[in-house]
């Protein structure tokens, strides 16, 4: 059987004004090399997203411990290397990755920090979200300020490292001989962003007692209430009537 080669496709995504807003890259299979009946039906996905590539790279440095009926996945060694890389392998551990009374914003008056170091810390932490959903919210929150990070953002990122110091051995445990009922949970911080007043929602799904998927996503747009619109329109009419 011939090996199906791949190719990188690069594309610039533009808005309605023709301004480039995003640079996209996709790894695709060369479909013209496939032969029907040999390797045609077996290729179920012609496009490999970058998230899948990153997932493969992240799992290549997971630790996998297989027992008789259970499987345990964790990234203890990666956490140790990450803490050592940023000089926090001797730091004290902390019980939570994010303070409940901390609300990050652009912090225009704050002291700037090294962008390269900050981006490296956040980028390295993103690989840990493969099997540590407990840090996904705060990592995605800190990732919003990579263009001009300030000292407050860097302190929040260092708090993640302190949390990892005490949870290096925490991972995903897949048990055998359990029911395969699918359960989902969702939550949202109502108007949690101080910048644009958007909410951040999170979901997770369990198959039996095993966590299989999770995500943390910021609200795409904010809609104006129809009640508020009608009140504003009535106010405009009143102003016109009374000069």
pLDDT tens for each residue of the chain, 243 residues long: 566 677 777 888 887 777 887 777 777 766 666 666 655 555 444 555 655 665 665 565 577 788 787 888 888 888 999 999 999 999 999 999 988 777 788 888 999 999 999 999 998 898 888 788 889 888 988 988 988 899 999 999 999 999 999 999 888 888 877 778 889 999 888 887 777 888 888 888 888 888 888 888 888 877 665 555 555 555 544 444 444
| DSSP assignments along the chain, one per residue | -PPPPEEEEEEEEE-TTS-EEEEEEEEEE-GGG--TTTTSTT---SEE-HHHHHHHHHHHT-EEEE-SS-EEEE-HHHHHHHHHHTT-TTPPP-S-SS-TT------TTSPB--HHHHHHHHHHHHGGGGT-GGGHHHHHHHGGG-SS-BHHHHHHHHHHHHHHHH-TT--EEE-SS----EEEEEEEETT--TTT---EEEEEEEETTEEEEEEEEE-S--PPPHHHHHHHHHHHHHHHHT-
For the chain, the domains span 1-48, 51-179
| Global pTM value | 0.66
């Amino acid at each position: 059987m011939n090996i199906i080669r791949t190719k990188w496709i690069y594309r610039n995504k533009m808005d309605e004004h023709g301004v480039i807003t995003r640079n996209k890259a996709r790894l695709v299979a060369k479909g013209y090399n496939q032969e029907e009946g040999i390797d045609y039906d077996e290729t179920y996905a012609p496009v490999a997203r970058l998230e899948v590539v990153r997932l493969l790279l992240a799992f290549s440095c997971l630790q996998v411990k297989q027992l008789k009926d259970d499987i345990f996945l964790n990234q203890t060694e990666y956490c140790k290397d990450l803490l050592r890389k940023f000089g926090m392998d001797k730091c004290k551990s902390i019980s939570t990755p994010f303070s409940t009374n901390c609300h990050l914003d652009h912090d225009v008056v704050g002291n700037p920090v090294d962008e390269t170091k900050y981006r490296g810390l956040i980028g390295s932490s993103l690989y840990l979200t493969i099997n540590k959903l407990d840090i996904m919210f705060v990592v995605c929150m800190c990732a919003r300020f990579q263009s001009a990070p300030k000292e407050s953002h860097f302190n929040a990122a260092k708090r993640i490292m302190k949390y990892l110091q005490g949870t290096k051995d925490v991972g995903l445990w897949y048990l055998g001989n359990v029911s395969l009922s699918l359960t989902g949970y969702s939550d949202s911080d109502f108007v949690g962003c101080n910048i644009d007043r958007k909410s951040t929602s999170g979901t997770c799904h369990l198959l039996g007692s095993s966590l299989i998927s999770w995500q943390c996503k910021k609200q795409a747009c904010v809609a104006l209430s129809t009640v508020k619109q009608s009140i504003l329109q009535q106010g405009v009419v009143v102003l016109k009537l009374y000069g």
